[in-house]
């Protein structure tokens, strides 16, 4: 379903109608900026849409996770760290608005960012009554120069009243729902102790789309027990759904996680860089040409990362992905539906 957000940029460079209904604007492969990449990069699309760089600021609003006994205790998913798979460096004792103000200061200094999206990231950011969620999301949107919201959560944590609320934000602002899937294979989800199956994801996804929401789906490449064919099958599912956005994560093994213990016992391995680069390109080639790529890799916290250590050099990985596209002469969507 096409989105119908009434989001408008603050200073429309052309007509309000043409500027930023992303769904209408996704197909512009001929854009001078986008043509530098062989895939639709979310950050570039944001810049084109708002006219300036827009940075996401991670926020920890104190949510728990239903897969961790409803709170922040319990091991949860095998890869989950004590921070709930969240961003490092969040000052979680501060209020939502204080965290955003702090993030703005850093981003403005480092990247000359002009506008921001608040990203409710760690744990499950819909695990509260809708009224409480509204208060927290509104607090984020009230901060100057915050032009949108992204809310990360699990597919089993979006009841109808919460989805209705998210639908309201879709019409009020530039809004993304980020749903963790990780793999389309139930045996992998079971092994990972995700606590939900693929059918649960599909139900949540369709219910979100029925409210017009933009949905970004998170998947992990390099999960133990998955072959290349398994990972490409997950990509094919996303291609068939024509998802609005995808975040590709490299499997990181962190200390103080169940996965970390398996790794130190020699029971699991991680991908090599060359393998990851080729897989990532394979996946993007299979995705639908309209899907925005929100992330291509990740850099786990340096002081907690057990493997793969090569991932710490994020720019080297990103450059290698671009080089692989050039080497193949391919681009996003070339093998969509194949």
In this complex, which beta carbon is closest to ligand SF4, that of residue 13 or of residue 71? 71
| Residues whose CB falls within 8 Å of the CB of residue 290, separated by 6 or more in sequence, listed in order | 26, 27, 40, 242
Report d(CA 281, CA 106) in Å as an integer. Answer: 32
What are the distances in angstroms from CA 143 to CA 43, 60, 97, 104? 21, 16, 6, 10
Q: Which stretch binds ligand SF4 (CB under 6 A): 74-82, 106-114, 201-209, 295-303?
A: 74-82
Residue 286 binds ligand SF4, judged by CB under 6 A: no
243 binds ligand SF4 (CB under 6 A): no
Candidates 3, 45, 67, 257: give the one binding ligand SF4 (CB under 6 A): 67
Question: Could you say whether residue 20 binds ligand SF4 (CB under 6 A)?
Answer: no
Which residue of 84, 260, 308, 333 would you call a contact of ligand SF4, by CB under 6 A?
Answer: 84
CA distance 142 to 279: 41
Torsion angle in degrees (nearest 10) through CA of 44, 45, 49, 52: -20
Pairing of strands 146-153, 115-120: parallel
Task: Give the range of 73-81, 95-103, 125-133, 290-298 binding ligand SF4 by CB under 6 A.
Answer: 73-81
CA distance 150 to 42: 13
Residue 83 near ligand SF4 by CB under 6 A: no
Do the beta carbons of residue 233 and residue 185 sit within 8 Å?
A: yes
d(CA 206, CA 196): 16
Residue closest to 61 by CA, chosen among 150, 188, 170: 150
Nearer residue to ligand SF4 within complex by CB, 77 or 251: 77
- 197 — phi, psi (to 5°)? -110, 180
Q: Treating both helix axes as pointing N-terminal to C-terminal, what angle do 130-141 and 160-172 enclose, rounded to 10 degrees?
A: 20
* Residue 247 dihedral angles phi and psi, to the nearest 5°: -110, 115
Stretch that binds ligand SF4, among 33-41, 61-69, 162-170, 323-331 (CB under 6 A): 61-69
Among 46, 49, 65, 292, binds ligand SF4 (CB under 6 A): 65
* Nearest distance, CB of residue 26 and ligand SF4, angstroms: 28
Count the residues of the shown chain that bind ligand SF4, applying the rule CB under 6 A.
12
Is 154 an interacting residue with respect to ligand SF4 (CB under 6 A)? Answer: yes
Using CB under 6 A, pick the residue from 85, 97, 291, 332 that binds ligand SF4.
85
Question: Least distance to ligand SF4 from the beta carbon of 152, Å?
Answer: 8
For ligand SF4, which is the closer residue by CB, 123 or 175? 123
- Residue 92 CB, shortest distance to ligand SF4, in Å, is 14
Under rule CB under 6 A, residue 127 binds ligand SF4:
no
In the complex, least distance from residue 63 CB atom to ligand SF4, rounded to whole angstroms: 9
Report if residue 169 touches ligand SF4, rule: CB under 6 A.
no
Q: Which among 329, 248, 321, 328 has a CA at the least distance from the CA of 287?
A: 248
Stretch that binds ligand SF4, among 13-21, 60-68, 159-167, 283-291 (CB under 6 A): 60-68
The b/e string for 91-100 (b: 16+ C-beta within 10 A; e otherwise) is eeeeebbebb
Of the candidate spans 76-84, 98-106, 275-283, 312-320, the one that interacts with ligand SF4 by CB under 6 A turns out to be 76-84
In the region spanning residues 107 to 126, those forming contacts with ligand SF4, defined by CB under 6 A, are 123-124
Q: Among 137, 153, 169, which residue's Cα sits nearest to residue 5?
A: 169
**Residues making contact with ligand SF4 (CB under 6 A):** 65, 67-68, 76-77, 80, 84-85, 123-124, 154, 180
């Amino acid at each position: 379903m096409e989105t119908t957000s009434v989001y408008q940029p603050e200073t429309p460079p052309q007509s309000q109608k043409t500027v930023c209904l992303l769904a209408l604007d996704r197909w512009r492969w001929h854009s001078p900026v986008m043509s530098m990449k062989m895939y639709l990069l979310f950050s570039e699309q944001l810049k084109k849409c708002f006219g300036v760089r827009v940075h996401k600021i991670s926020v920890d609003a104190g949510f728990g996770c239903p897969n961790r006994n409803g709170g922040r205790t319990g091991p949860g998913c095998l890869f989950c760290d004590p921070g709930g798979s969240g961003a490092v460096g969040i000052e979680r004792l501060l209020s939502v608005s204080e965290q955003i103000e702090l993030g703005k200061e850093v981003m403005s200094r480092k990247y000359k960012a002009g506008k921001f999206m608040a990203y409710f990231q760690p744990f499950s950011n819909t695990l509260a009554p809708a009224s409480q969620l509204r208060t927290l999301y509104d607090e984020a949107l009230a901060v100057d120069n915050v032009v949108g919201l992204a809310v990360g959560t699990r597919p089993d944590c979006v009841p109808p009243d919460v989805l209705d609320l998210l639908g309201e934000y879709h019409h009020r602002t530039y809004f993304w729902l980020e749903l963790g899937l990780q793999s389309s294979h139930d045996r992998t989800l079971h092994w990972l102790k995700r606590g939900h199956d693929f059918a649960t994801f599909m139900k949540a996804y369709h219910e979100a789309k029925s409210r017009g929401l933009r949905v970004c789906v998170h998947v992990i490449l390099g999960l133990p027990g998955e072959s290349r064919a398994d990972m490409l099958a997950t990509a094919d599912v996303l291609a068939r759904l024509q998802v609005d956005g995808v975040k590709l994560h490299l499997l990181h093994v962190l200390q103080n996680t169940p996965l970390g213990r398996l790794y130190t016992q020699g029971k699991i391995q991680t991908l090599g860089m060359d393998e990851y680069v080729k897989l990532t390109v394979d996946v993007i080639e299979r995705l639908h040409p309209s899907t925005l790529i929100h992330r291509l890799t990740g850099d786990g916290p340096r002081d907690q990362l057990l493997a793969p250590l090569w991932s710490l050099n994020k720019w080297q990985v990103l450059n290698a992905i671009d080089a692989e596209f050039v080497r193949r002469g391919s681009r996003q969507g070339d093998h969509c539906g194949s």
